[in-house]
Structure 1
Amino acid sequence: MKTIAITGYKPHELGVFTKSHPAVFYIKKLIEKELKVLLDEGLEWVIISGQLGVELWAAEVVIELRLDYPQLNLAVLTPFLNQEERWKDSNKEQYERVLMEADFVDSITKRPYENPKQFMMKNQFVIKKTDGLLLIYDEEKPGSPQFMLETARKMKSQNEYTIRAFSFYDLQNIVEELQEDE
């Protein structure tokens, strides 16, 4: 896989309300571990839509990994212009840092928010432009990532497309692995 999309829960869907919450550390470690495997298989691009939560945390991991893997690129393809308009200042700062470090930034609809269809268009566009999807999502706890997963499953049913989904069980395994290493 040369290009993957990464998505997952938004912070409030995980009950994470601070950047120092322990879950953020473990989610980033899981993403880092998976990205290293994919980098060994030839990964070149990670695409996110810039959503708060798993996507921005993944972007931060990509930015850190580029120190050791300079061939790794980050693209931020937002569903619409100014998606961060109503976010808190601290979230806007995190988002702006990611945009400044990204190798490519664009908005899919080139218009401000109009309707939910822009999210559907974003999902279809991102899945069409990638070889696979890495997501942190547990089907027993429905949330916003389910729409991207459904789009990826449609793609997989018609084409060669890889879906790497990680549940709360996988996160628990990372926690235990890291605690054993200490």
Structure 2
Amino acid sequence: MSKLWVTGYRSYELGIFKEDDEKVEVIKSVLKESLIQKIETGVDWIITGIQFGVEQWTIEIANDLKKKYPNDFKIAVFIPFLEFNKNWNEENRTKVKKIISYADFSTEVSKKIYNSPVQLKNYQKFMIEHSDEALLLYDPEFEGKTNYDLKKIKKYEETNVYSYELIDMDILQEAANQIQEQKRINKEDE
């Protein structure tokens, strides 16, 4: 069994505040290709959280990929603590319920409501220890909260068999260029 933890930037860290932002198309395209590669090379669990941005997009993409790979992998969603999204507005809580419904398994890592930053550290530790590798949409030159995950992964990797892959801004820019070129070609063909 091979488990892949996927995480990365929150949507607001990328300046994305609407799902129809062109950046979302690029990010989803890159994530989809990466997930396909991982599934085709043996990943059978894709695990992530429910943060807006990379984590939710990962769940949506993985759910769509189940049509092509119906028995090849499962989706697990881990929530850091009880009532994690309690302060989110109704629309966002409804979206999270829908996202979680795509998962084959979901649970809170801590069965208590938030009471300490230790819960977030424990969540991070749990995600690393319950996966074999990580895929992070993150570029160290453009810091964000995922930097904490990357540091913890690098530290864990020093004494454990674990690997990670970064999707950085150069990869995203290359994908954006390819998408724009394809759109230009399609427009010329019309």
What's the TM-score bracket when you normalise by the shorter of the two chains? over 0.9
Identity of aligned residues (%): 30
The more displaced of 119-128 and 89-98 is 89-98
The residue aligned with 2:144 is 143
3-state SS of paired residue (1:31) = helix
> Unpaired segments of 5 or more residues in structure 2?
184-190
Equivalenced residues, count: 182
- Residue 166 of structure 2 aligns to which amino acid in structure 1? A
Distance in 2 between the 1:87 and 1:21 partners? 21
- Residue 33 of structure 2 aligns to which amino acid in structure 1? K
Distance in 1 between the 2:57 and 2:19 partners? 10
Distance in 1 between the 2:24 and 2:93 partners? 17
Distance in 2 between the 1:58 and 1:20 partners? 16
The residue aligned with 1:57 is 57
- Residue 166 of structure 1 aligns to which amino acid in structure 2? I
Give CA deviations for 1:118-142 in whole Å, capped at 9, x if unaligned.
1111110010110111011111111
Q: 1:16-27 maps to which residues of 2 (within 5 A)?
A: 16-27=16-27
Distance in 2 between the 1:172 and 1:135 partners? 16
Q: 1:5-44 maps to which residues of 2 (within 5 A)?
A: 5-44=5-44
3-state SS of paired residue (2:112) = coil
Q: 1:89 to 1:22 in 2, by over 3 A?
A: farther
Shift of 1:25: 1.2
Q: 1:31-180 maps to which residues of 2 (within 5 A)?
A: 31-70=31-70, 71-180=72-181
Larger Rg: 2
- Residue 66 of structure 1 aligns to which amino acid in structure 2? K
- Residue 59 of structure 1 aligns to which amino acid in structure 2? I
The residue aligned with 2:2 is 2
> Unpaired segments of 5 or more residues in structure 1?
none
- Residue 34 of structure 1 aligns to which amino acid in structure 2? S
3-state SS of paired residue (2:111) = coil
Q: Which runs of 4+ in 1 moved over 4 A?
A: none
3-state SS of paired residue (2:82) = coil
The residue aligned with 2:187 is none
The more displaced of 129-138 and 91-100 is 91-100
- Residue 154 of structure 1 aligns to which amino acid in structure 2? K
Distance in 1 between the 2:158 and 2:103 partners? 31
Distance in 1 between the 2:165 and 2:92 partners? 27
Distance in 1 between the 2:79 and 2:167 partners? 23
TM-score w.r.t. the length of structure 2 is 0.91
Give CA deviations for 1:20-44 in whole Å, capped at 9, x if unaligned.
1111111111110001111110111
Shift of 1:178: 2.2
3-state SS of paired residue (2:16) = coil
Give CA deviations for 1:60-82 in whole Å, capped at 9, x if unaligned.
00000001111221111111011
